[in-house]
Structure 1
Amino acid sequence: MSDTFEVVAEPRTDGGKGASRRLRRQGLVPGIVYGGHRDPQMVSVQHSELYRQLDYEAFYSSLLDLKLEGETAQVVLKDLQRHPSKPFVIHVDFQRVSAKDKLRMSVPLHFENEDTSVGVKAGGAVSHNLTEVEITCLPKDLPEYIAVDMARVDMGDSILVSDLKLPEGVELTYAMEPDTTVVSIYAPYAGEETEGAEGEEGEGAGGDITPE
């Protein structure tokens, strides 16, 4: 896990669309903090600071230090509403965490050794069916991501949800079907170029192709 992110919030008392619009005009994002066996509390956070932190993938799946009215509470980001056409966040939800209560979170998948896997070296193309999975765990066990090692995946092979190597204390939720394909390597259709093939042809010219 990385260093904990810090979110500074201020309490707010006015609800409704009109109050939320006024906050946004002031450069603030309306939000709510709930859970942790306490009443929900309406808050606001600085848009510029929140938007900066959203550039970090780990922000979405890490414990966050929420500073509010002189107190610090650990929370996780549970919901984020963005403007449909503009680079603005219009609402944010945080959930308080308790050391004894399990969290239900979506965490990203990191595909390791993809460009050097057996199947890609043989000219295969990679197809990602999932980019994140839903897990349950105690806050202390929350991973930033789940690693998927593709080094030995051959052309025609797949990695299923049941094949994922989960950190200790982490379980998949019942929403994840064990036989769901996570990623596969397939033989490209006629005329379809692959990253692996292009990489081999361009190797002499020093051209590396970086996967997404």
Structure 2
Amino acid sequence: MSNTYELKAEARAQVGKGSARELRRNGLIPAVIYGDKKDPVSITLSRKDITLKIYGGGFMTTIATIDVDGTKYRVLPKDYQLDPVRDFVMHVDFLRVSKNTQVTVEIPVHFENEEKSPGIKRGGVLNVVRHTVECNCPANSIPDALVADLTGLEIGDGIHISHITLPEGVEPTITDRDFTIATVASPAGLKSDDNAASEDAEDDAGEEAEAEDDSEE
């Protein structure tokens, strides 16, 4: 699990579009803490601090502590909105978590041992079908990543979710099939060579048939 971090925040008395716009003009962003069968808490955060966390990686899978005027909340980011034009953070939603909280998160997939894949050594291309896998897991033990081992994979082979060792308590939300994570695909050049070889074989077969017809005449 990623290292936790702490953010300073202030309680937000006023809500609404006008208040939110004023906050953003002052380098702050509105946010809300909800869940755990308690009333939501409206807060303001430093845009700079939250932007650094979002673009630093692992934001959506890392438990954080938010200090709101001296009261601390353990939370997991659940959503954030970006300005569609200027791409800066507009709003963040945080979910309160406890030791018993179960969450649904998108966990990134990391691939290792490409150098031990015969298919990739021959020029095969790793075709990633899923860069993340949606899983249910305890909030206190969200893995940083799921690890897919490419050792021994030939061209045409694939990695399915059953090939990945999941940490205890982590389960994919898709349970009705052994879905594909990635495949080792043929490179374009090899496909072209295979097609050319197939066409040559067809031409040879056609020439042989014509020769047989000529001999019968």
When normalised by structure 1's length, the TM-score is 0.83
Higher helix fraction: Structure 1 or Structure 2?
2
Deviations 1:33-65 (A, max 9, x none): 101221111111100011111222222211111
State yes or no: 1:135 paired with 2:135. Answer: yes
Deviations 1:98-139 (A, max 9, x none): 211211111111112235422211110111111111111222
Distance (whole Å) between structure 2 residues aligned to residue 29 and residue 14 of structure 1: 13
Q: Residues 44-123 of structure 1: matches in 2 within 5 Å?
A: 44-123=44-123
Deviation at residue 191 of structure 1 after TM alignment = 7.6
Letter of the 1:178 partner, please give it.
Answer: R
State yes or no: 1:36 paired with 2:36. Answer: yes
The structure with the larger Rg is 2
Q: CA contact under 8 A between 2:32 and 2:42: conserved in structure 1?
A: yes
Q: CA contact under 8 A between 2:31 and 2:93: conserved in structure 1?
A: yes
Distance (whole Å) between structure 1 residues aligned to residue 131 and residue 151 of structure 2: 18
Distance (whole Å) between structure 2 residues aligned to residue 118 and residue 66 of structure 1: 48
Deviations 1:44-91 (A, max 9, x none): 110001111122222221111111121222111100111123231011
| RMSD between superposed Cα atoms in Å | 1.8
Q: What is the aligned-residue identity percentage? A: 35
Deviations 1:160-189 (A, max 9, x none): 123321111211114x65332211111112
Relative distance call for 1:190 and 1:91 in structure 2 (3 A) is same
Distance (whole Å) between structure 2 residues aligned to residue 19 and residue 56 of structure 1: 28
Distance (whole Å) between structure 2 residues aligned to residue 139 and residue 12 of structure 1: 26
Match of 1:179 in 2: 178
Distance (whole Å) between structure 2 residues aligned to residue 131 and residue 155 of structure 1: 20
Which consecutive aligned stretches of 4+ in structure 1 deviate over 6 angstroms post-superposition?
none
Q: CA contact under 8 A between 1:162 and 1:178: conserved in structure 2?
A: no
Number of residues of Structure 1 aligned to a counterpart in Structure 2: 191
**Long gaps (5+) in structure 2:** 192-217
Letter of the 2:10 partner, please give it.
Answer: E
